[in-house]
Structure 1
């Protein structure tokens, strides 16, 4: 099979990066995060890209970063929370071992915080979180082979649950 060994999707703050690194270690492979790729390529944080160039420009950078990572990376891949908004990205993920990491709004508020530099949560974060999840949950479900809750779990526990969900345990 070509492409990533595992692709993690889910909302901001759910733990895709931390879980992805733990999962890559367990699988003996590498980890890649498309948000980190975007930041490295742009030379500035995502929040500044949103402010300076706008969300449509960021989404184009994100689309390009996902396409490159899916074609080049064979390890564990974490996508930004909104990457699944793009239809071509969802199509690209078809047939790949994608896992939706989920959490509820109370956990999201604890993890993301109310004053973090998250451009999409700048005004009324709890309400905006609910709106984003109402929009994105069906798309996360569409692309995913499995759903794993991160609530009350360490990244190591979540990584173990991902291995179980995808039946990736080594015999």
Structure 2
């Protein structure tokens, strides 16, 4: 199979980037984050893309970033929290080694905080996060080969479980 060895999906603040970097190090491969790709291509932060250009424009950039990364990258790939909203993205992920990193709202509040610059959490972050997860959890589950909780666990513990569930060998 070509493409990423592992693809991480899940909500904002779950640790996709942190876990992805550690997992890539353990596997001896590179790590790529589509949110970072979008920021690089647009030349501005995601929050500014949302405010200046709107969510539909951001989602179009996101779909293109995912498509490109899936075609080019062979290491660990972390997708933005909303990438699975696009049916095209879910189709592209079909059969791929996708891991859904999961957590509950209490953990999200600890990690993301209530004042973080997250455009989709500007008003009533706890309620917004719950609503996002109600809509997204079935989509994360749909594309995932495995679900790994990050709650009350270190990144090392999460990486260990990913290696086990996907039966990957460390370098």
TM-score interval for Structure 1 and Structure 2 normalised by the shorter chain: over 0.9
CA RMSD in angstroms comes to 1.0
**Tell me, which stretches of 5 or more residues in structure 1 are unaligned?**
none
C-alpha separation in 2, matches of 1:135 and 1:169: 34
2:12 is aligned to 12
1:50 is aligned to 50
C-alpha separation in 2, matches of 1:11 and 1:20: 14
Distance apart, 1:153 and its partner CA: 1.0
1:155 is aligned to 155
**Pairwise mapping of residues 11-160 of structure 1 onto structure 2 (< 5 A)?**
11-160=11-160
Instruction: Report runs of 4+ in structure 1 exceeding 2 Å deviation.
Output: none
Q: Is the 8 A contact 2:148 2:162 kept in 1?
A: yes
Does the C-alpha gap of structure 1 residues 53 and 156 become closer, same or farther in structure 2, counting only changes over 3 Å?
same
State the TM-score, normalized to the length of structure 1.
Answer: 0.98
Distance apart, 1:165 and its partner CA: 1.2
State the TM-score, normalized to the length of structure 2.
Answer: 0.98
**Tell me, which stretches of 5 or more residues in structure 2 are unaligned?**
none
Distance apart, 1:169 and its partner CA: 3.1
> 1:12-39 CA distances to partner (integer Å, 9 max, x unpaired)?
0000000000000010000000000000
C-alpha separation in 2, matches of 1:135 and 1:123: 17
Q: Is the 8 A contact 2:67 2:89 kept in 1?
A: yes
**Residues matched between the structures, number:** 171
C-alpha separation in 1, matches of 2:165 and 2:48: 36
C-alpha separation in 2, matches of 1:118 and 1:13: 10
C-alpha separation in 2, matches of 1:80 and 1:54: 16
